[in-house]
Amino acid sequence: MSIVQNANEVDGAATEEFLASSEGLRTVLTVLDQLGPDGWHTLPVAKVLLELAQKRFAPVAQAWHRPPEDATYAAFLAMRGRSARTARDPWGVVTRAVELAMQAETYGERLLISPERARRPVHRPAEAPMRAGEHEEFLYDIVATEGSVAGRSDDGVERLIATCAAFLVVAGWPHARARRVVEYVSMRAADMGSRESALDALRRDNVTRLHLGLSHSAWNTLVGLLIGAKPRVGSTATLGVFARVLLGDQLGDLLRDTDLLDQAQLTCPGGSHD
């Protein structure tokens, strides 16, 4: 408990390590709940917790084109709720709350409705209103062919792009490049109509690979990571990040898969891949 009460007197890295654990977050949130609203102003560890949340959720905000402060505020609201204190995975609850908040704000702006209404797909208008001079075709308007990795739904494609881009950013990709490469691979995969065709076509796409500054091995790893691996003799096919997200995985689920995160880090532009 001393690390909760005396955060300014202990090593900052030790404090962040404590807060990054499920039990550490639960302990701090329980103390803050007992102290009431003033606890967030008077308890030194509360400031450290908010700073950690800003660093942790900045990629999520960037993936949805929101300022990092929006994600921090969404995390703050989630951490004040009972579910974050009582859940088996408190950080998972907060992560999901931040993702939903960023989605709602983005859809709210796009559809000219409130974020509260945008949280529920059933309350969203069937078509986005056309603004003067606006002719952009959003990815969620693309109808994927049957068997494609990018299935259509109200949230499907935009959630897919944002979650996968945020995952790559956490792994070390620059945000703008991560967003572009996820959009590009998802659209090419939808055009191909099957995973095998998409893998073959994208792995031969040297123009895009060179534009991104990736080696052959890094590009092949990235394509396989996103789309999935072909089945080989004696083994089954491996689900790609696209399929995992479309099947319900959240950003937190992807980040808890250390093998997947290690693989993503090997694809970062400028790294040693050859």
pLDDT in tens, the chain (274 residues): 455 555 444 456 788 889 999 999 999 999 999 998 788 988 989 999 999 999 999 988 888 888 888 899 999 999 999 999 999 999 999 998 898 888 877 766 665 455 555 455 544 444 444 343 333 333 333 223 333 344 444 456 778 888 999 999 999 999 888 988 998 888 887 776 667 777 888 888 888 888 888 999 999 999 999 988 765 544 455 788 988 888 888 888 898 898 999 999 999 987 554 4
Of 118, 149, 173, which residue sits at a domain end?
Answer: 118
Instruction: Kindly state whether residues 149 and 103 are assigned to the same domain.
Output: no
Q: Which two tokens stand for residue 4?
A: 């909760």
Kindly report the backbone phi and psi dihedral angles of residue 142, in degrees, each rounded to the nearest multiple of 5, phi listed first.
Answer: -80, 125
Instruction: Determine, yes or no, domain membership for 68.
Output: yes
241 and 170 belong to one structural domain: yes
**Is residue 22 included in any domain, yes or no?**
yes
Which of the listed residues 118, 153, 173 is the one where a domain comes to its end?
A: 118
156 and 57, same structural domain?
no
Asked, for residue 123, whether it belongs to a domain, the answer is: no
Mutual orientation of helices 175-192 and 156-171 as an angle, nearest 10°? 130
Shared domain check, 113 and 180: no
Distance CA 164, CA 187 (A): 14
Residue 124 lies inside a defined structural domain of this protein: no
DSSP, collapsed to helix, strand or coil, labels residue 177 as helix
102 and 75 together in one domain: yes
Does the residue 261 lie in any domain? yes
Angle between helices 156-171 and 258-265 (to 10 degrees): 70
153 lies in some domain: yes
The token pair that represents 125 in the structure block: 């208008």
Q: Judge contact between 63 and 181, C-beta under 8 A.
A: no
Q: Answer yes or no: is 274 within a domain.
A: no
Give the model's pLDDT for residue 29. 95
Spatial separation of the C-alpha atoms in residues 96 and 99, rounded to whole Å: 5
Say how many domains are in the chain: 2
Decide if 109 contacts 131 (C-beta within 8 A): no
Q: What backbone torsions phi and psi does residue 238 show, to the nearest 5 degrees?
A: -105, 130
Q: Provide the pLDDT for residue 41.
A: 87
The residue out of 61, 91, 118 marking a domain boundary is: 118
Residue 270 exposure: Cα atoms within 13 Å on the Cβ side: 4
Which pLDDT does position 193 carry in this prediction?
61
Q: Does residue 126 fall inside a structural domain?
A: no
Predicted local confidence at residue 4, as pLDDT:
57
Question: Residue holding tokens 């409705």?
Answer: 113
Q: Which domain holds residue 112?
A: 2-118
Residues 194 and 161 in one domain: yes
pLDDT of residue 187: 82
Residue 133 CB contacts under 8 Å (≥ 6 apart), including other chains: none
Distance CA 217, CA 98 (A): 34
Q: Do 95 and 154 reside in the same domain of the chain?
A: no
